[in-house]
Amino acid sequence: MLEYVFILPLLSFAVAGVIFAVGKWLPIKGASAGIAVAAWGFIQAAMLFVKAVRGSIALPYEASIPWFSVGAHQLSLGVYVDGLTLAMLLVVTTVSLLVQIYSTGYMHGDPRFKRYYAYLSIFTGSMLCVTLTSSMLVFFMGWELVGVCSYLLIGFWFEKQSAAYAGKKAFITTKLGDLGFLLGLLTLFYAAGTFEISAIMEKAQNGLIPVALAGLAGILMFLGAAGKSAQFPLFIWLPDAMEGPSPVSALIHAATMVAAGVYMVARLYSVYTLSPIAMDVVAWTGAITAFMAASLALTCFDLKRVLAFSTVSQLGYMMLALGAGGFTAGMFHLTTHAYFKALLFLAAGSVIHAVHTNDMREMGALRHKMPITYVTFLLGTLALCGIPPFAGFFSKDEVLVAALSRSPFLFALGAMAAAMTAFYMARALVMTFHGKPKDAHKHDHAHENPLVMTIPLMFLGIVSVISGWALTRHEIFEHLVNFEGALPFELHHVSHSTVALVSSLVAVFSMVFGLWLYKSRPDIPALLREKFSPIVNMLEKRYWLDAFFLKIVAWADSLSVVLFSVDFNFLDQIAIDGWGWLTIKLGKIQGWIDTYIVDAAVDAFGTITLYSGRAARLAQTGIIQNYLLFVAVAVSIFAAIAFAG
């Protein structure tokens, strides 16, 4: 079964081609083919996961075929499967399947329905490439391909100016990080001499990679992860990426692609653990991101943007966990987060599909109109806030334990982010589903969505409730996804359960406070907004990060103008055109020499030959007596000379 796992990404790519080519004639305009393949992938992944949990397959499994060789370096195409891979595989295939089912309802009647499904299949294939590959080179290729798919799907409704702009922004911002990723990858290749993941891990564990190079490679590659996984300061693209269809946000910008950066750090964890500096960079960036993004979500009125900031914040958590040495904690949070955040996005999509707006100020009181969406959104919220016994509680708890083991400041940032998370989710819940309808017209038209959209919601709702508990039972996840030689973290002063108690108390208190504030005293938030307008302004401007990057762009723009003028005035006008001018002049001199010296010499030979020929011809009269006369004269002369001598 593991032997055939390589088929999964290939099948996804193939089905994308099929949908493009003949999707028109397939049931549901090609969606059926995409869903069938995704379902098959899900079944495979689930079976593999269960088998791995039972221990009936040997891990890690590696198989590859040679691809090409450069010098002495052999590059190969292959799969590398261990517990980490299987966890990610399960996440990708599950969310992909559910999103594709959900999209048949959400995208119903869209003029580019077929293309949408083809993109989704390409995305799934690329993501599976990233997940399964045994070579960092293929990893990078898949990494870029998911970036392309993200660009295509964010700008899917490209008639809207803002969507086209958001796609561009996402692509360019992540490319900024990918530059670092590529440099890091090359540094790693230089240090380890191979792109093979297993070989890199082995070399790193045997201490064959210099610490300084490992740190450099780790930090550079983390730049790529910061772009893709929306870490500070490159997270600015993710809120705007919400211009894409909601299921796309659920699949790409909540569960899978944005987790690719986290997955990369986990994949190369043996390299990261070599360098404490790289680990610190990862941990602190994660903590700062978690805190900042959570604060940004507080003032946001766009439902999907609240969720986007929340995603950024949770990705920060994962990085924080990995950087603090909690390998299992980070990946566990990735897994649970993928499910409940996909659920939240799909539920938000369901709401948006019903009321045709993203703005929470125009929603309200939807809980009776859309009971299934409401309940599932509530479950997702509880899971995200870390209320026991929902999924987020287990994973967030692990993350905070890892953070505390490293530094109390990391823990403090994480705990504050957790408090804010509970608060803004309570706010979003109340504004969307409770209170009074703010827009009567939209409220009247709202209705529960069809079953194709609510069944994925229900499924994810159940997963969000039980996954945390189920995966920690008998330490299933920890046995499957662990890292030998991970920094052992021990708590000196407080016990594990104290952390759990504190984090859940903080979450519960914060959530109840949020619910009370927005439900019973909606006048207070408005008052606070006025009172603390500078802070609100700062948050609404997103800590001026957008402005900062625009400044950089503007600066680069003016630099390019200067460079252009240097290029045009100096290089083009003087250097290049100067060469031309010089060449013309030299050519003219050469032409003169050629005409008047070389050619003249050649002509002179001709002329001399001509005239000497004419002169010689005079002697050739054709009269034999003349020749005899010459003979006679010559003989006479020679005779005279002979006699004179």
Partner 1 sequence: MMLSHYLAVSGILFTIGLFGVLTRRNIIGILMSIELMLNAANINFAAFNRFLYPGQHLGQVTVIFIITLAAAEVVVGLALVMAIYKNLKTVYVEKYNILKG
Contact residues for partner 1, defined by CB under 8 A: 622-625, 628-629, 632
- Token pair of 13 as six digits: 């790519």
Residue 623 C-beta: closest distance to partner 1, Å = 6
Residue 611 C-beta: closest distance to partner 1, Å = 24
Residue 587 C-beta: closest distance to partner 1, Å = 49
CA atoms of 457 and 95, how far apart (whole Å): 11
Contacts of 269 (CB under 8 A, 6+ apart): 322, 327, 483, 486
Residue 640 C-beta: closest distance to partner 1, Å = 14
Pick 206 or 620: Cβ nearer partner 1? 620
Pick 553 or 628: Cβ nearer partner 1? 628
Residue 586 C-beta: closest distance to partner 1, Å = 52
Secondary structure in 3-state letters for 1-47: CHHHCCHHHHHHHHHHHHHHHHHHHCHHHHHHHHHHHHHHHHHHHHH
Residue that the structure tokens 């064959």 belong to = 208
Stretch (H or E) spanning 74: strand 73-81
Contacts of 75 (CB under 8 A, 6+ apart): 66, 67, 68, 69, 135, 137, 195
Q: Using the CB atoms, write b or e for 603-636: b if 16+ within 10 Å.
A: eeeeeeeeeeeeeeeeeeeeeeeeeeeeeeeeee
CA atoms of 77 and 600, how far apart (whole Å): 69
Residue 626 C-beta: closest distance to partner 1, Å = 8
Residue 631 C-beta: closest distance to partner 1, Å = 10
Residue 583 C-beta: closest distance to partner 1, Å = 54
Residue 624 C-beta: closest distance to partner 1, Å = 7
Pick 601 or 642: Cβ nearer partner 1? 642
Pick 1 or 623: Cβ nearer partner 1? 623
Residue 636 C-beta: closest distance to partner 1, Å = 10
3-state SS, residue 81? strand
Pick 622 or 645: Cβ nearer partner 1? 622
Residue that the structure tokens 């859940």 belong to = 504
Residues in the chain: 645
Pick 556 or 639: Cβ nearer partner 1? 639
Pick 592 or 630: Cβ nearer partner 1? 630
Pick 550 or 632: Cβ nearer partner 1? 632
Pick 47 or 637: Cβ nearer partner 1? 637
Residue 629 C-beta: closest distance to partner 1, Å = 5
Pick 512 or 631: Cβ nearer partner 1? 631
CA atoms of 314 and 383, how far apart (whole Å): 12
Residue 627 C-beta: closest distance to partner 1, Å = 10
CA atoms of 216 and 280, how far apart (whole Å): 13
Pick 576 or 628: Cβ nearer partner 1? 628
CA atoms of 269 and 18, how far apart (whole Å): 38
CA atoms of 128 and 631, how far apart (whole Å): 106
Residue 621 C-beta: closest distance to partner 1, Å = 10
Pick 610 or 628: Cβ nearer partner 1? 628
Pick 68 or 643: Cβ nearer partner 1? 643
Pick 566 or 629: Cβ nearer partner 1? 629
Cβ(214)–Cβ(274) below 8 Å? yes
Q: How far is CA 223 from CA 179, 239, 545, in A?
A: 8, 19, 17
CA atoms of 349 and 355, how far apart (whole Å): 10
Q: How far is CA 481 from CA 41, 52, 90, in A?
A: 20, 10, 13
Residue 635 C-beta: closest distance to partner 1, Å = 10
- Token pair of 249 as six digits: 């946000």
CA atoms of 163 and 528, how far apart (whole Å): 32
Residue that the structure tokens 């009776």 belong to = 368
- Token pair of 486 as six digits: 């991970």
The one-letter amino acid code at 362 reads E
- Alpha helix stretches (DSSP H) within 211-326: 211-228, 237-240, 246-250, 257-267, 269-272, 276-297, 303-323
Pick 440 or 624: Cβ nearer partner 1? 624
Contacts of 20 (CB under 8 A, 6+ apart): 114, 115, 118
Residue 595 C-beta: closest distance to partner 1, Å = 39
Q: What share of the chain is helix, strand, coil (3-state, %, to 5)?
A: 80, 5, 15
CA atoms of 516 and 207, how far apart (whole Å): 55
